[in-house]
Structure 1
């Protein structure tokens, strides 16, 4: 009798557990990181923790290669098959929100207030996305190389001026010790061009678009300041201070480490390799100031809720759960990116106070400049990429920037101002 009672108790428990699992509503999550086992391990761990933490929702993951991800989302939107939760590259968010792919994200403001600006996706004064990390760019250099050549080591409070930066490159070139004094990463013909190089334009006083109206690039991308940027940019390649558009990917990947380049304009995601190579001799220097303040890019991959999700409360609950400080710290320790909050930074090996990469958190906080928050950005970015590539290859600066400005303005007009002319 006792055996039968025990069997019945076990069966009942299994039945109740099964029913509880079946009662959970499924939420689909699309992620761009297929093929990255480190990211996948952390994300699947977060999903597992979330699924076990409550009885209402169960998140399922579908992964895509990054190169195919945006096209997959666009196709799904057109066919009405978007998932509940999307991740997205930060500057693409306004276009997706404007296109009707996303709905506002209902996280409490007090949570958002703790995040770095580059990790928060705002559009039309509403929150649409939030990220677990941000990224920052710096000048990678060796202290010994700078000191041997009597080049001042800049600080966040006293960065190089544009003139100092160019003079430093010319000094390093004159040594004859390097193939080029600076690696800009010209082989990486992707969003890198806009993310990494438009801050130089902005530091000169120009921009990709007039941010007062978001209705024109006239004067911002082709004004005097922008032309000054273009002339300086072109001079880098005319004077052979940096390799041009024909740079090989392998040289970009290892050239600074191998001593082919004295300096490298690069992001924190490769900083650990450089530290392993150069140790305490390595320094991460702030962006130079060309007159309008030192600037670096901001905004990385973020999570949001699709417009067609029938369970936005569950999708938001997952995003809220995933953006806990402990998970931000896990991603940072594993892949080297900047944790999105100061509290998470304290929990990491690299970004805690005195950590070898803590400078990148400071750089992001002080110098980060968001790419234009407009649906037009998805057109602006490749247009700018082509312009700076053509200028690097010797095209006339003024006419190239004029042409890019006209193309952007025509796109904005074709799309009725992307809603800005209604404001």
Structure 2
């Protein structure tokens, strides 16, 4: 498969349509590769996200003021339109020099020819100091890095667990599957909670593989066989995967979880509608503010193969058609300062990508209120499958998991998912270079 074909396949996997953003690509195309006398275009997904955009702007202004050889110019897109803008510009080689990318998409974009290996030689913070989930790799080369990550966690009220005699789990001793099942049964029997567990089943898109495939992995299954990345057979429909699917459906049939949660699951938890919420670190500060010391930030359940959460968030990269890669690398190396890791984490309420930065943010230091989130990101995170096929695999898993929750036969649903994923892998020559 040649590079042009790979780009077309990558585009079809990442974006369904680019119609809403094509008109906005023109200005970035002109000189977007840095051809206009030292101008380096930077694309970000943060239009509409003022807090993170302000940090991006600060970093760019600092770099521009630090030297006179290059000038970085920002173009921001709404997150929902961002991927479409990238794939619409990739085929005509009009990508900017610098762009951000959602971590799970790094292998697809690298394989599709959008990104170049970073090959960074400088910077205050070594890449090895970062959380592994915040460094985007493909075929053992680094293509991107991020300043932060997020972590899934179980939120609960200490008073509620104490009332029902339920043990408070710790990272060293998380709930087992049996303990978790017993806790849900006790909470349901107490009569206060119609659905004691809130899992965010009203969400869509990447939330489904991000939130639920780690539980599948804790059972012992996976989205694809990672030893070869040539089949999902045995990983997504083996005995442990089938066990996960039946358990996932049983949460609904046993009355522990709603088939589809409401529009504000975290608000429902804070208002006492649910006892335990499977949620992310992005809601931790809000929950602490509302519940104070009664809030518990709990580790994920160990379903047999250890606690697992999803890893990787937004990262920065360099496009493969950048006319001045030395300028793009100079900028990216400049950004690698502990001060900027701090700025991003504070602005976004996320987990800093380095221990040095975490130690300087109140609550994230060792022993701090949010240290369980840092530990989860460090010890329990599993990156989503490192394959260009991931966007397709994710879409199949989302539909499959939704079908199972809605009552589809788990065995048949998983077998069909494997059939679709394997057909896609074969159709694309297993995404060989």
Say whether the fold is shared (TM-score over 0.5).
yes
Contact 1:112 1:120 in 2 (8 A): yes
SS of aligned partner of 1:32: strand
* 1:222 corresponds to which of 233, 237, 257: 237
Shift of 1:108: 3.8
Partner of 1:18: none
Shift of 1:24: 6.7
Contact 1:51 1:57 in 2 (8 A): yes
How many residue pairs match? The answer is 396
CA distance in 1, matches of 2:105, 2:130: 19
* Further displaced range: 311-320 or 334-343: 311-320
CA distance in 1, matches of 2:116, 2:363: 35
Contact 2:171 2:372 in 1 (8 A): no
Partner of 1:158: 173
CA distance in 1, matches of 2:288, 2:169: 19
SS of aligned partner of 2:91: helix
Shift of 1:398: 0.4
Counterpart mapping for 1:219-368 below 5 A: 219-245=234-260, 247-250=261-264, 252-368=265-381
Alignment partner of 1:383 is 2:412 = no
Residues 240 and 323 of structure 1: CA distance in aligned 2, closer, same or farther (over 3 Å): farther
Shift of 1:211: 0.5
Contact 2:118 2:318 in 1 (8 A): yes
Shift of 1:358: 1.7
CA distance in 1, matches of 2:276, 2:218: 19
CA distance in 1, matches of 2:83, 2:37: 29
Alignment partner of 1:405 is 2:415 = no
What's the TM-score once normalised by structure 1's chain length? 0.92
For residues 358-408 of structure 1, the C-alpha deviation after alignment (integer angstroms, 9 at most, x for no partner) is: 211111111011110000101000100111100000000000000000100
Partner of 1:17: none
Shift of 1:311: 1.2
Contact 1:162 1:291 in 2 (8 A): yes
SS of aligned partner of 1:369: strand
Counterpart mapping for 1:172-187 below 5 A: 172-187=187-202
Counterpart mapping for 1:126-137 below 5 A: 126-137=141-152
Shift of 1:179: 3.0
Residues 143 and 253 of structure 1: CA distance in aligned 2, closer, same or farther (over 3 Å): closer
Shift of 1:94: 0.3
For residues 125-151 of structure 1, the C-alpha deviation after alignment (integer angstroms, 9 at most, x for no partner) is: 100000010110010011111111100
Partner of 2:81: 68
For residues 188-238 of structure 1, the C-alpha deviation after alignment (integer angstroms, 9 at most, x for no partner) is: 112011001000100000000001000000000000010000010000011
Contact 1:24 1:55 in 2 (8 A): no
CA distance in 2, matches of 1:316, 1:186: 41
CA distance in 2, matches of 1:26, 1:354: 45
- Mark the structure with the bigger radius of gyration: 1
* 1:120 corresponds to which of 102, 123, 135: 135
SS of aligned partner of 2:306: coil
- Mind listing any 5+ residue stretches in structure 2 that lack a counterpart? 1-35
What's the TM-score once normalised by structure 2's chain length? 0.89
Alignment partner of 1:138 is 2:157 = no
CA distance in 2, matches of 1:289, 1:154: 10
CA distance in 2, matches of 1:318, 1:141: 43
CA distance in 2, matches of 1:24, 1:330: 30
Shift of 1:253: 3.8
Partner of 1:169: 184
Partner of 2:7: none
